Amino acid sequence: MGRILLNVEDLSCGYGEKVVLKGISFQMEEGEFLGIIGPNGAGKSTLLKTILRIIPPLKGRIFFRDKDISKFSRIMLAQEIAYVPQQTQVWFSFSVMEILKMGRYPFLRRYKSEAKKDLDIIQEKIKLTGIENLVYSNLEELSWGERQMVFITRALIQEPKLLFLDEPTAHLDVGHEIKIFDLLYRLNRQNNISIISVLHDLNLASQYCDRLLILFDGRIEKFGKPEEVLDYRTIEKIYDTVVIVKENPITKRPYVFTIPEKFR
């Protein structure tokens, strides 16, 4: 067992008096690629936002590298953890470079601009993600897939130990899905960035993630390796549909086939 990077203890999450999740406890090891899955409204995004202190927990404690995450200032947390939220409409005309430079804000002294070290890091991450051709564009000119690559690059410019992503391939075609998850997998394995990603696509989750945390009915339904948790009974229960689960002959990971009503 590797070193524990993130430890969540008896966490309850929600908004005001509305409890979305309760009794959430799990640990994540350094270097792990963890997927969070579950039906719509299960609390996947709420869990991410609670861990990130975007919304306060209703109960429980969260430890990052053995330190209570509530003891981190916003700046300290941003120097350790980066977050790529769900894609939203861009209301302001930022250039790609302006967006990328935002990734260095946690490391800049007040009223100071980027030093050579910061600019070198920005250029390094641009090359790492292969977005050199986008740097001189405005964000609003880009496709959804290109925008997502820009926001992932911005997150990497923070040089995080832990990267959170909330449905990073929403609205994207299968080609962009694979491109993004291939990149995330390389970052995880080659650059030693631990990753937690919310996903809707069970097969992407199965093929790329080391372990999966399944949320259902306000709690953790299952937590383990894809082959341990992606059985047809669990999937049919939480998604209320009929499926067949087979082994992918190439990856040896579970692959979920949905069965349309007309073929049942």
Q: Which two tokens stand for residue 210?
A: 């080391």
> Could you state, in order of their start, the residue ranges of all structural domains in the chain?
4-231
User: Is the confidence at residue 92, as pLDDT, over 90?
Assistant: no
Determine the pLDDT at residue 12. Answer: 97
Mean pLDDT lowest among 108-112, 227-231, 233-237: 108-112
Residue 226 banded pLDDT, cuts 50, 70, 90:
very high
Q: Which of 143, 179, 161, 137 is nearest to 72 (CA)?
A: 161
Do residues 118 and 146 make contact, with C-beta atoms less than 8 angstroms apart? no
Q: Is 248 helix (H, G, I), strand (E, B) or coil?
A: coil
Whole-prediction pTM: 0.94
Q: Is 182 helix (H, G, I), strand (E, B) or coil?
A: helix
Percent of the chain surpassing pLDDT 70 = 97
> CB under 8 Å to 145, separation ≥6 — which residues?
172, 173, 176, 179, 180
Residue 109 banded pLDDT, cuts 50, 70, 90:
confident
Q: Which of 149, 154, 209 is nearest to 179 (CA)?
A: 149
Yes or no: domain 4-231 corresponds to CATH 3.40.50.300: yes
**Residues 149-177 pLDDT 10s:** 999 999 999 999 999 999 999 889 999 99
